[in-house]
Amino acid sequence: MGNNYAINKAKEQDAQSLVSLLNSAYRGESAKQGWTNEAGLITGEVRTNEENIIQLINQPVSVFLTCTNNQKQIIGCVNLQKHENKLYLGMLAVSPLLQGAGIGKILLLAAEEHARAIDCDTIYMTVISVRKELIDWYKRHGYADTGIRKPFPEDDITGKHLQELEFAVLEKSLKGFPYFRQNLQFMDLQQQFEAAIAESKSLSEKPSNDTLLQLYSLYKQGSEGDVNIDPPANPFDFVAKAKYEAWLALKGKSKEDAIKEYIDLVSKLKV
C-alpha cells in the first residue's frame, strides 16, 4: 500500500512545519493549487506565524493534530480546543497538492476521536460565510450551519480582506452515535483503511500481543494479499515466526474482507 498516514499530537519543534503548511494551504499562489482556500478573499501569503502556533501547542486546552506521510512529513493538521463540553476545530489544512485524496476526512475523523476522548459531545468551528464549497463539504460530513454569524476583523498577522467578511458558526453533535465511525459512510474502503491504520498508531492503550498479531496479519492480508515471504530462517526468532504464521493463517481471505476486519478491530480498540 502506497500511503501510510499517521496522526500525532504536534510538539513545539513541529511549529515551523505547521506554519509553512498552514500558510501554503490558506493563502497566496500555492493555496490556489488546492480546491478550496482563502487566496481570493484575503491578500498576502500569511495565515499564521510561529509564535501563534507555539502558543496554541502549549495551551492546556489546545492540541494540534498532525497527519504525516511515509516520510514523516507533516502534510495535514488541525487545531482543537476544549471549551467546556464543546471542541473548537480550527486551522484544518492539507498540503495543496495532496488535497482531494481523503486526508481532510482523516483529520475530521481524528478530531471526533479526540472530542470523545476528552468528553466533548459537540464540535464547532467558524468558517468564512462566503466559502460555500467548503461549507457544503462540512455539511456532507455532518456539520450544520447554526445561523450564527460572527465578525471577522482584520488582524496584524494576516493580509487585507478583499471584501467584507464574516464567520458562519458550524456545529456537529456527536451525541447518539455509537462510536467514531459515523463518518465512514463518506469514505471509500481504502480511505477507511488508511484512517484506521493512522488511528492504530495512536491508541491510548497498547493492545495485547495477540491483538497486535491480529492487527499485523489483517494489515498484511489487506494490503498485500496472501503471504508472499518465506518462513523465517531462524527457528528461534519467535516474533518473526508468530507474525509469519498469523499472516499465513489468513491465506485465501480476500483483501476486502481483511480490510473490513482490520477497520472493525481498530474501531473496537478505540472504544
Ligand X SMILES: CC(C)(COP(=O)(O)OP(=O)(O)OC[C@H]1O[C@@H](n2cnc3c(N)ncnc32)[C@H](O)[C@@H]1OP(=O)(O)O)[C@@H](O)C(=O)NCCC(=O)NCCS
Footprint on this chain of ligand X (rule: CB under 6 A): 25-26, 34-37, 92-94, 99-105, 127, 133-134, 137, 140, 186
Minimum CB distance to ligand X smaller for 88 or for 186: 186
Q: Which of 69, 84, 90, 80 is nearest to 17 (CA)?
A: 69
Give least dist CB 67 to ligand X, A. Answer: 9
Minimum CB distance to ligand X smaller for 26 or for 180: 26
Minimum CB distance to ligand X smaller for 33 or for 267: 33
**Residue keyed to cell 498540503:** 95
Q: In 101-250, which residue ranges form alpha helices assigned H by DSSP?
A: 103-117, 132-140, 189-200, 209-224, 238-248
Cell triple for 8: 500525532
Give least dist CB 99 to ligand X, A. Answer: 3
242 vs 20: CA distance, rounded Å? 43
Minimum CB distance to ligand X smaller for 92 or for 265: 92
The residue nearest ligand X at its CB is: 104
223 vs 253: CA distance, rounded Å? 12
Classify residue 225 by burial, with Cβ atoms within 10 Å: 0-12, 13-18, 19+: middle
Give least dist CB 53 to ligand X, A. Answer: 15
Minimum CB distance to ligand X smaller for 42 or for 227: 42
Q: Which of 80, 76, 169, 77 is nearest to 117 (CA)?
A: 80
Give least dist CB 78 to ligand X, A. Answer: 8
Give least dist CB 164 to ligand X, A. Answer: 18
